[in-house]
């Protein structure tokens, strides 16, 4: 089986949603699943889950939680220019790689 490429979106990134019912909303990435290429974004793609009492939960009921969204439907928001933009990679002086904003050229990994 071929290994999938790691998405450019990482935990704690600010992203905007490009398609679907949540189009245009901005949120922070809580978790990224690189294998499935999906991310959980704070307050985006909320679903209701019916949970039974017991185990970890003392009380059952209907729980609202974030559902994963595919990374192709998300775009990074640059902290400097505050606009959704594509990201690229740049090799720094110390030899490490860093993500950069394609619009303003600012580092995204700071």
Mean pLDDT of 47-60: 88
- Please write the tens of the pLDDT for every residue from 90-110: 999 999 999 999 999 999 876
Mean pLDDT of 43-69: 91
Residue 1 pLDDT exceeds 80: no
pLDDT of residue 10: 93
Element (H, E) at 24: none
pLDDT of residue 43: 96
DSSP per-residue letters across 49-81: EEE-SBTTBSS-EEEEEE--EEGGGEEEB-TTT
Give dist(CA 45, CA 33) in Å, integer. 16
- Please write the tens of the pLDDT for every residue from 3-47: 666 678 999 999 999 999 999 999 999 999 999 999 999 999 999
Give dist(CA 109, CA 23) in Å, integer. 25
Instruction: Tell me how far CA of residue 72 lies from CA of 69, 101, 108, in angstroms.
Output: 9, 17, 18
Residue 57 pLDDT exceeds 90: no
HSE (side-chain half, CA atoms, 13 Å) at 96: 7
pLDDT of residue 58: 81
Residue 59 pLDDT exceeds 90: no
Q: Cβ distance 104 to 78 under 8 Å? A: yes
Q: pTM for the whole thing?
A: 0.86
């Amino acid at each position: 089986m071929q290994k999938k490429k790691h998405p450019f979106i990482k935990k704690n990134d600010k992203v905007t949603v490009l398609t679907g019912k949540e189009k245009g909303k901005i949120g922070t990435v809580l978790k990224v699943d690189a294998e499935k290429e999906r991310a959980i974004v704070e307050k985006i793609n909320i679903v209701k889950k019916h949970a039974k009492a017991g185990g970890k939960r003392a009380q059952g009921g209907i729980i609202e939680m974030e559902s994963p969204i595919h990374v192709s439907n998300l775009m990074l928001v640059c902290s400097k220019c505050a606009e959704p933009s594509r990201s690229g990679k740049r090799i720094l002086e110390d030899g490490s790689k860093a993500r950069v904003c394609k619009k303003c050229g600012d580092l995204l990994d700071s």
